[in-house]
């Protein structure tokens, strides 16, 4: 009952928050959106599985950054990023070690974590992507994924909520 009520509340808020985005909620009608015990938001769709890491979670799990530098992205913002991600990556694969980004089908197998971050240039949403085997081998829903190396299996994006555009997509360094 609580899961259904939470999903309904989130979808109502999402519908209101993305009306200017062409109603992205319709693009993911079967999305399962749940809140974790840690206060993060898990989104599961046919196309992707993602975790929005809350500001409060990041303040505890990533204390090396000032708490004032985090904020919590909305589900609507993540839907907007995801709706444009495959096309962006297809056009900007040069940031990957192999010279090309994962295609839409392979991209759907990657897990994701999204955080809101503030720096001197403004607010951004940072997306951290990792291959399916990392999802199986780690507690990615309760820990910040941080990997050095790993090649194209791990990559990140920066999204600007003001321009509503992906600015950067880069793979980690080679394995």
| pLDDT score recorded for residue 18 | 41
pLDDT, position 73: 97
CA distance 103 to 83: 14
Tokens representing residue 70 in the block: 């985090």
Q: What is the distance between the alpha carbons of residues 94 and 100, in angstroms, rounded to a whole number? A: 6
CB 76 within 8 A of CB 14: yes
- The pLDDT profile of the chain, 175 residues, written as one tens digit per residue, is 444 444 444 444 444 444 444 466 678 889 999 999 999 999 999 999 999 999 999 988 887 777 678 999 999 999 999 999 999 999 988 888 888 888 899 999 999 999 999 988 999 999 999 998 888 888 888 888 887 777 778 899 999 999 999 998 888 776 5
Q: Residue 59 to residues 64, 68, 69, 81: CA-CA distances in angstroms?
A: 9, 9, 9, 24
d(CA 132, CA 17): 30
Strands 111-119 and 49-52, by their bridges, are parallel
Model confidence, pTM: 0.83
Residue 6 makes CB contacts below 8 A (sequence gap 6+) with 33, 34, 35
Q: CB–CB of 126/140 below 8 Å?
A: no
């Amino acid at each position: 009952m609580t899961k259904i009520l939470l999903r309904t509340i989130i979808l109502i808020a999402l519908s209101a928050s993305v009306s200017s985005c062409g109603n992205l909620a319709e693009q993911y009608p079967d999305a399962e959106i749940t809140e974790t015990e840690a206060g993060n938001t898990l989104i599961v769709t046919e196309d992707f599985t993602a975790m929005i890491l809350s500001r409060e979670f990041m303040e505890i799990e990533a204390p090396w950054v000032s708490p004032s530098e985090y904020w919590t992205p909305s589900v609507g913002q993540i839907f907007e990023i995801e709706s444009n991600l495959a096309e962006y990556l297809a056009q900007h694969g040069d940031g990957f070690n192999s010279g090309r980004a994962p295609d839409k089908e392979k991209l759907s197998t990657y897990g994701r974590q999204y955080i809101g971050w503030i720096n001197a240039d403004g607010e951004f949403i940072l997306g951290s992507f990792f291959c399916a085997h990392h999802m199986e081998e780690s507690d990615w829903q309760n820990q910040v994924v941080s990997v050095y190396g790993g090649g194209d299996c791990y990559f990140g994006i920066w999204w600007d909520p003001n321009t509503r555009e992906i600015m950067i997509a880069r793979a980690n360094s080679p394995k």
